[in-house]
Structure 1
Amino acid sequence: MERQLILDLPCRSAQGRDDFFVAPANALALATLDRPDTWPQRKMLLIGPEGAGKSHLAQIWADEHGAAVIAGRALTIAAAPALVAARAVVVEDAETIGGHPEAEAALFHLHNLAQAEGADLLISARTPPRDWGLALPDLKSRMQATASVRIEPPDEALLAAVLVKLFADRQLMVAPALIPWLVLRMDRSLATARRVVAALDARALAKGTAITRQLAAEVLDSLG
């Protein structure tokens, strides 16, 4: 029997507001981002673990406010004026700039320019600023003084909804009963949910079979 050829094609993830499942773990974050007029000094830190939905939530905010979006390590001082000209800016993965002098200086400059121009500034990170390893004292003090809102670890309802969405993004049909079965047996992490669905997709393609409970058990065992 010939081995099936597998093409690693990217799946398109739905990132609109209608695709964002509101649960106790993220309701406060969503409500906070919906009211930038209440942010102290028009800036906010969005904190949450890997795969918690920070990028999805930040993209919703960016789309609805016409914000410029940039990754923390991609920041440069020269890019700051164009970003602030959008009147709203999203800096993602800000924890990655720690220990990189040019990126730290760029975020410090962007922060000050946004304040001077009255632009809204949303910064996302996996951890609080105290854990970023910042070397620039002025940036460290400004980030630690910035108001923050956290996305908490997902509950069972949120994890189930995310699994449904991840399967749908890949156009995969699974038995409804498989979702709660997975939720009870996997780590309660949205990052884990992404890995599980990706692994199930790949293994089902390799075997030329449907996604079953037996296949899911094999994947969970392989992921440890």
Structure 2
Amino acid sequence: MTARPSPPGQMRLPLQSDLPDGAEGFVVSDCNRAAVAALEDWPNLIGGAMAICGPAGCGKSRLAQIWAERVGAVALHGAEAALIDPMEIEGRPVLLDRAKDVDDETLFHLINLAQAPGGALLMVARSAPSSWEVALPDLRSRLDAVISVPMEAPDDAVLAAMLDARFAERGIRPQKDVVPYLLRRIDRSAAAAEAVVETLDALHKPVTRALAREALEGTDGSGESFE
């Protein structure tokens, strides 16, 4: 059957979504193990809607993107989901990141489409769908029925992997005591790992524990601020 042209205001999907590389480097630990297990064979056994939720920087979007790459899902982000032509995603798995930013009507239709053969909807948000404020009664009941799997802030194993990856991207080989030192002192998020490595890189010095301490204190060791 020939696909109909997309109505004005709707966007057509590219044949391939821009997704990150596969699961290489993704560390499974206690903070994310339940979500990894939940997605391992989903939606092979049963479709429908599922959500993974957790604090900013916990790796939920990365995990969801790995899932999307594995199953060939269409990746949508927040409010842009309202622009999609439903014919483009019917019968296909869909990843909806920043799901709480989506308007009620669009979210209602996406959940309904997930019930079709071959369909599935993975939502990513900081809080579980059952806690979202919505105006549509029918949407309320659907969100309450969504299986939600929590993720926690990165534990030591995951945060250490994040730091190692950020150092490697910049060609930095820190002394072996630097990462354990940083683990005890930075916020437990991907953003914090990126920020501290960027700060250390900007100093153009061998990355030692002493330099890490200076970076976290915001001085160059002589009392002069980096800013």
Deviation by residue 1:158-209 (Cα, 9 ceiling, x = unmatched): 21122112222333222221000100122233332232223333x32xxx32
Kindly name which structure, 1 or 2, has the bigger radius of gyration based on alpha carbons. Answer: 2
Q: 1:34 to 1:198 in 2, by over 3 A?
A: same
Aligned residue number for residue 215 of structure 1: 211
Q: 2:99 aligns with which of 88, 94, 98?
A: 94
Matches within 5 A, 1:98-109: 103-109=103-109
| Cα distance in 2 for residues equivalent to 1:171 and 1:55 | 25
Number of the residue aligned with 1:197: 197
User: Could you tell me which residue of structure 2 aligns to residue 34 of structure 1?
Assistant: 40
Q: Residue type of the partner of 1:55? A: S
- 1:80/1:106 contact within 8 Å kept: no
1:60 is aligned with what amino acid? I
Residue 59 of structure 2 is matched in structure 1 by 53
SS of residue matched to 1:19? coil
What residue number does 1:72 align with? 78
Per the normalisation by structure 1, the TM-score is 0.79
TM score, norm. by length of structure 2? 0.78
Residues 44, 148 of structure 1: 8 Å contact kept = yes
Structure 1 segments, 4+ long, off by >3 Å, are 37-41, 130-133
Mapping of residues 1-224 of structure 1, within 5 Å = 15-37=21-43, 41-76=47-82, 78-85=84-91, 87-97=92-102, 103-201=103-201, 203-204=202-203, 208-222=204-218
SS of the aligned residue for 1:138 comes to: helix
User: How many percent identity over aligned positions?
Assistant: 41
Cα–Cα, structure 1 residues 77 and 190, in superposed 2: closer, same or farther, change >3 Å? closer
Displacement after TM superposition at 1:37 (Å): 4.2
Separation (CA, whole Å) in 1 of partners of 2:198 and 2:89: 34
Q: Secondary structure at the match of 2:27?
A: coil
Deviation at 1:40, TM superposition (A): 6.1
Q: Partners in 2 of 1:169 and 1:185 — Cα distance?
A: 22
Q: Which has the higher helix share?
A: 1
Q: How many pairs align?
A: 201
SS in 1 for 2:104: helix
Q: Larger deviation: 140-149 or 32-41?
A: 32-41
Q: Name which structure has the greater RCO, CA cutoff 8 Å, separation 6+.
A: 1
- Distance of aligned partners of 1:209 and 1:25 in 2 relative to their CA distance in 1, 3 Å threshold: same
8 Å Cα contact 2:51-2:124 kept in structure 1: yes
Q: Gaps spanning 5+ residues in structure 2: where?
A: 1-18, 219-227
Alignment RMSD = 2.5
Instruction: Output the CA distance in 1 between the equivalents of 2:65 and 2:149.
Output: 16
